[in-house]
Amino acid sequence: MTDLKQVTSLHRTAMGLAEKALATQDSREARALFKSAFERERQAADLLETELDQEPTRSVLYRSAASLALDCGEPAEAERLAAKGLAGKPPQDIRGELEQLLALRKPASKVGRR
């Protein structure tokens, strides 16, 4: 069984880092903060990878991690994480958002981010 306190702690840390990244005027600092946020959100999501009974939390974390991966300029990682989110049983609205993230990976896609 997964330690949900650890998942929550990683997620909260990631969101705090992402907020700081959005607030900073220094692009180099913003990139570093987004990268740290991404790494923590990915860790949180991966802790629930096999916990299919933890929906929608599981798929929401994968959606967030995939979005942060795009913010970090890592589209292949975003695709991998979105696919992991879809491998579970996400609610329909989250499924749609994960599918949009997958579509962003395709060069001809016109889908907007966030």
Residue 113 falls inside a structural domain: no
Residue 111 falls inside a structural domain: no
Task: Using the predicted structure, report yes or no on whether residue 31 has a pLDDT greater than 50.
Answer: yes
How many domains does the structure of the chain reveal? 1
Report yes or no: 101 and 84 within 8 Å, Cβ to Cβ: no
Residue 73 falls inside a structural domain: yes
- The residues near 113 (Cβ < 8 Å, ≥ 6 apart) are 67, 70, 104
> Residue 103 has what pLDDT?
87
Mean pLDDT of 74-84: 96
Give the range of the structural domain holding residue 66, as residue numbers without chain letter.
Answer: 4-105
> Residue 80 has what pLDDT?
96
CATH of the domain at 17: 1.25.40
Residue 64 falls inside a structural domain: yes
Q: Rounded to two decimals, what is the model's pTM?
A: 0.88
Residue % of the chain over a pLDDT of 90 = 83
Task: Using the predicted structure, report yes or no on whether residue 1 has a pLDDT greater than 70.
Answer: no
Which of residues 2 and 70 earns the better pLDDT score?
Answer: 70
